[in-house]
Structure 1
Amino acid sequence: MSTGDTFMRQVIASLARQGPFEDAGNKALAPPHLLARDRADYERIIDEVLRSDPPGPAELFTAERLRTMALNATSLITAAAADEYGRYVQIRESTAPGGDGSQRETQAGRLAVVAVLAPILAGTASACFLLVGYITKFLRGNSDFARAMISEGWIFGALTAVCVLLAMIGLLVTALRHNPSGGDPDGAGPWEADLGTEVVAARAAWLTALRVRGVQPFLQEVRSAVPPGEPGD
């Protein structure tokens, strides 16, 4: 048995046991880390390849089993398109508004805190002003101080409503930007379409390389290396 066949048998045996494949003796297999935001693209390519060429009834592994094996072999498969993926991530991060991804996440976190705290603080202030105003009005009559407190209370009440509305709009926009199903036919979200044609082209190049050099050869090797009826381990 050749070295390539032995290596492929090791891969299949490991993946058939539902565990991620690791080859400690081949560090060249380690690609750039697949970011969580790109995991959906990777899984979609696997599903598309399996739909275009589903396993037959005589084959040992079902489509679901092959999908699980491909997911367990993420590092091995994505290594085939490491150059395209690295270029795609670099262009995306350098082109995106606000600098790199970590800076944008920090800014988004701060905005989320403000969106949550603003309505709470405004509502609390409104309740305090109204409470003091109406108590003063009840005890001392319709004094200037009571009218001022009540007026401030209703102003902060209106501000609370505005803050709640803005927070809801912000949450809706954030949900739309992170919705992987919205966007172009290749699965790009609207947040990505706004970055320009260079990012779209880099993403398309990565997905093509991932499909042609990664997912398709891997699944073909697995299906051809284990004849029908032969166990994978």
Structure 2
Amino acid sequence: MHMNVAPYLLTEDRAEYERVLDDALSTAHTRPELAGFGTWLTAAQLRAMAVNATALITTAAASEYAHFTKVREAGRVAVATRVPARQDGSGAGIVAILTVMVPVLAGSAAVIFLLVGAVLRAVAPGLRFGGTLLTAGLVFGALAAAGLVCAGAGLLVTALRNSPAATVTSAAAAGGPEDELARAREAWRHALLERGIVPFLRDALAATEPPDQQGP
């Protein structure tokens, strides 16, 4: 169960905060200001203290976090507005309807012609009209098969165009908003680490340092 969550720290960023905290703890032995790490306070104890003090620690990087969330929200709005724009052309809708209807109509006609032609061929073998109907049925059957292939290809192209990967690629090609978001996230992470988490860990170690470690 998570304890304090800063009022401005969104739930979706809680995991990112804890990742920065874990990175700080994993490299604490390389920081002179965190001397005593693991001696009188373990990594687990320090982590629990930092998780409980989330609201206090994250205020040190409030401005960077506000910029990060603003850039992220702008990117989401931009992606959302690009999707309806693809539906503006009426020509595309007509083509889609025809792509679906042609195989259905052609398939129905093929079934009717083949059935009637087969019945006439069986009842009156000498009647040429039965053969004509069978030929027409085969032609419509081929047309239905070709329509199904075209419809399948159209659905595949549409699915690929609307996939998340295609959206990200289009966004990157349009001017690199993903790069701006990455920079904003990294700026927040750096401020959170250097101005929030590390000073908190330093103060926690200093406050719990045994008296005999401070000299006579």
**Which interval holds the TM-score relative to the shorter structure?**
0.5 to 0.7
Report the count of equivalent residues.
176
Q: Partner residue of 1:15?
A: none
Shift of 1:84: 1.9
- Identify which of 178, 182, 194 aligns with 2:176: 194
Shift of 1:137: 3.7
- Higher-Rg structure is 2
Residues 126 and 154 in structure 1, CA contact (< 8 A), matched pair in contact too: no
Shift of 1:85: 1.6
Q: Which structure has greater helix proportion?
A: 2
Q: Partner residue of 1:132?
A: 108
Shift of 1:81: 0.8
Normalising by the residue count of structure 1, what TM-score does the alignment of the two structures yield?
0.52
- Identify which of 143, 158, 165 aligns with 1:173: 165
Asked whether 1:34 is paired with 2:14, we answer no
Residues 125 and 153 in structure 1, CA contact (< 8 A), matched pair in contact too: no
Shift of 1:210: 1.0
Asked whether 1:209 is paired with 2:201, we answer no
Shift of 1:142: 3.4
Q: Partner residue of 1:61?
A: 42
Residue range with higher mean Cα deviation, 45-54 or 197-206: 197-206
Asked whether 1:20 is paired with 2:14, we answer no
Tell me the percent identity: 26
The within-5 A match list for 1:34-183 is: 34=10, 36=12, 38-39=13-14, 41-53=16-28, 57-63=38-44, 66-67=46-47, 69-91=49-71, 93-94=73-74, 96=75, 101-102=76-77, 104-105=79-80, 128-129=104-105, 131-140=107-116, 141-142=133-134, 144=136, 147-148=139-140, 150-168=142-160, 170-171=162-163, 173=165
Partner Cα separation in structure 1 for residue 100 and residue 134 of structure 2: 23
Partner Cα separation in structure 2 for residue 40 and residue 131 of structure 1: 55
Q: Partner residue of 2:200?
A: 218
Residues 61 and 191 in structure 2, CA contact (< 8 A), matched pair in contact too: yes
SS of 2:23's equivalent in the other structure is helix
Partner Cα separation in structure 1 for residue 156 and residue 57 of structure 2: 46
Residue range with higher mean Cα deviation, 155-164 or 123-132: 123-132
Partner Cα separation in structure 2 for residue 108 and residue 170 of structure 1: 8
RMSD: 4.5
Shift of 1:20: 0.7
Unaligned runs of 5+ in 2: 30-35, 87-96, 117-132, 211-216
Normalising by the residue count of structure 2, what TM-score does the alignment of the two structures yield?
0.55
Shift of 1:49: 0.9
SS of 1:142's equivalent in the other structure is helix
Q: Partner residue of 2:120?
A: none
Residues 92 and 199 in structure 1, CA contact (< 8 A), matched pair in contact too: yes
SS of 2:3's equivalent in the other structure is coil
Residues 64 and 191 in structure 2, CA contact (< 8 A), matched pair in contact too: yes
Partner Cα separation in structure 2 for residue 123 and residue 85 of structure 1: 49
Partner Cα separation in structure 2 for residue 106 and residue 68 of structure 1: 42
